Amino acid sequence: MSGIFPPAAPAGRRLSRRPGALLAGANVSERAQLPPSLAISTVIFALTPDGVGAETRGSAAPGLPTLWLPLVRRVKEPFKGQWALPGGPLASDESLEDAARRNLEETTGLAPEYLEQLYAFGGLNRSSRPEHGSQRVVSIVYWALVRPTEAELLRAADGMENVAWHRADTAGAAEGGLAFDHREIVDYALWRLRSKLEYAQIAYHFLGETFTLAQLREVYEAVLGRRLDPANFRRQLKAVAEIEPTDMFLEGGRHRPPRLYRYTGARVGLDPTTAPPGATAPTTDPAGPTRSTP
């Protein structure tokens, strides 16, 4: 039972039982002994042209689609002024997914169609700088995949001065790192995306109902972080039964309009895994043999 109730206050000192007051009125030693608190964080991946509407800059050529994610600038300690993943505390009367969706709505205004639980992070000193001392916080992390139309809603939203898009692979690199252990969380989410998502699923979650083969290749290049041979990619994709040509074409270009395709396979979520951060797994690659991604 010792792990359920907070430790007794020292003689002559009484801690309030009001929500939030227990932590506020505790000293460093008492905060460190409180039972762990639960929080929710979310990694939101979107595919956008490099440098469009973003706070940070990467090394990719302008216009090349890359993976981005929205971050929130913290307005209080710890890590005041640094960028962090959107999130917040878990209320006692809501499910984990409901908490993730509520926090996303409150911090970014986004309501992604695709949302899945990613992993639990609970390092002993992740909630604060070690010298400050704090109550331990365990974060249940979700991830979301959003389409460009959804991403544009955040860019156009009012009252979002502390929210900005950052390149997923370099977020925090030029600003002393992300708050807490959020760089580790983003890296783990990238590893999961690269190692577990099949390209047909990427088409549905990032591009929508119909797409060209060139658009699909750009998505896969953004996720893998490297160029793919267009002819080889096209040949591989045409052998996949779940990718079906339509009678529609993409209009608006100066050349012959490309045909639109659709994904007809099962639209299931990402394959969950219990592999720890830093592990390696095979990557499905339609442009070549299977390889390991760090």
What is the reported pLDDT for 44? 93
Instruction: Give the pLDDT score at 279.
Output: 46
pLDDT the model gives residue 55: 47
What is the structure's pLDDT at 63?
A: 57
For residue 137, the model assigns a pLDDT of: 86
pLDDT tens digit sequence for 79-99: 899 999 999 988 889 999 999
* Per-residue model confidence (pLDDT) at position 198: 66
Q: Report the top-level CATH class of 197-294.
A: mainly alpha
pLDDT given at position 277: 47
Provide CATH code, domain 36-189.
3.90.79.10
Q: What is the pLDDT of residue 175?
A: 82
- Looking at residue 269, its pLDDT comes to 55
CATH topology match: 36-189 vs 197-294 = no
**pLDDT at position 12, please?**
42
Q: pLDDT 10s digit of each residue in the chain, 294 long?
A: 333 333 444 444 443 333 344 455 555 566 667 788 889 999 999 887 654 444 444 444 455 678 999 999 999 888 899 999 999 988 889 999 999 999 888 888 888 888 899 999 988 777 655 555 567 889 999 999 888 777 776 665 555 778 888 999 999 998 889 999 999 999 999 999 988 776 667 777 888 889 999 988 988 888 888 889 999 998 888 778 888 999 999 887 677 899 999 988 876 555 444 444 444 443 434 444 323 222
Q: Given this model, what pLDDT does residue 284 score? A: 39
pTM passes above 0.85:
no
How is the chain split into domains, by residue range? 1-35, 36-189, 197-294
Q: What is the pLDDT of residue 266?
A: 74
- Indicate the burial class of 102 (C-beta count within 10 angstroms; 0-12, 13-18, 19 or more): middle
